[in-house]
Amino acid sequence: MKLLFDGNFERPEIELSDSPAGLKNLGELLLDLNKEIELSAIPEESDFYPYNLKKIAFKINKDEQGINLIYISVAEEYLVLEGTSIALRKLGHSLLNCFNENSPDTSHIHLEYFPGNQLVAPTNCSLIIVCQR
Amino acid sequence: MQAGGRLLRAGDNLADDLLGAFGGRQLALEGVGNSGLPSRGNNVPLSQDNRPLAIITNRGGNPNQSTAVVPGASNSLGSLPPVPTPSSNSPISIDEALDLSEQFLIPGIPVNFAQSGTGIQVIQQTTNSQGQSIVIRIGFDVNPNSAHVRRFGPHLNLQTQVDGVIQRGALADPHIPIDPSTVRPGDF
């Protein structure tokens, strides 16, 4: 997994890329996640993103308000995705839906806030998840 | 240019064209000024919790109110129509992207617009006859200031969420390349 960052903290743009198998594994992991985890990223030089983030952290919230959305943020050198187990499961299913062994390189999905989004909570982050062998 | 039975590129930029295609009403980008249109280098203001405010709303109306309605009959959405695809693998023009977008939207459902770092988003939200939340998200990722757009080139996203899950198969989220020469400075 690679985590590229454009360095804009006002409106961060982050690219998470991995192989089809890696994205599928991540999707399966999120279906049954019951504790906080951190995954390390492999540094990569990019012509488009000047920075790398070191890790992605998945944090589980309790469903106190019935809001099952993913909260996306950048904290120091971490990409943090936080949500209830239901929210993380929705993300897991989305990854499994969108990525498989036949996915072409550069196929990707956008996770960013817009009014009415049923997956992503309000955030100024734009996360793009990319299939890259 | 006439395409899909509509007059496209009638406005000065993509936002104008979207409004003409999907609503034709006098709308304004909240917080962006009287022109109501996003333009190059025009930063979208954020609320105190950093939530983008650039939601097109009826000028002077309720910000939460839906802003335009795709013409056509209402739809119970028991099954969603498949995602339209371009006729070839070649990059399409912005005009063709607008045409595909119109095909993708659900008739009779209000449309909202939002500016993001990568371009302009068009959103519909409704509930189908099974009680599932349906969200349609069209992304015109055309802003060359975005690292993502520089990497992949301008493109069109057609995303469907059902109960917050991005869909696959006939509802899969394609990313359709847009010919950069057809993107105008005012389009992002």
- Distance to chain B for A19, nearest Cα, Å: 17
CA-based nearest residue in chain A for residue B66: A115
Interface of A with B in 16-45 (CB under 8 A): none
Is residue B8's pLDDT more than 60? Answer: no
Q: Do B161 and A118 touch (CB under 8 A)?
A: yes
- Distance to chain B for A39, nearest Cα, Å: 23
Whole-angstrom distance, CA of residue A104 vs CA of residue A115: 30
Per-residue exposure over B119-156, b if at least 16 CB sit within 10 Å of its own CB, e if not: bbbbbbbbebeeebebbbbbbbbbbbebbbbebbbbbb
Interface of B with A in 74-93 (CB under 8 A): none
Whole-angstrom distance, CA of residue A21 vs CA of residue A133: 9
Q: Do B175 and A90 touch (CB under 8 A)?
A: no
**What is the pLDDT confidence band of residue B56, given thresholds at 50, 70 and 90?**
very low
Interface residue A3 vs chain B (CB under 8 A): no
**What is the pLDDT confidence band of residue B76, given thresholds at 50, 70 and 90?**
low
Is residue A71's pLDDT more than 50? Answer: yes
Q: Which residue has the higher pLDDT, B10 or A89?
A: A89
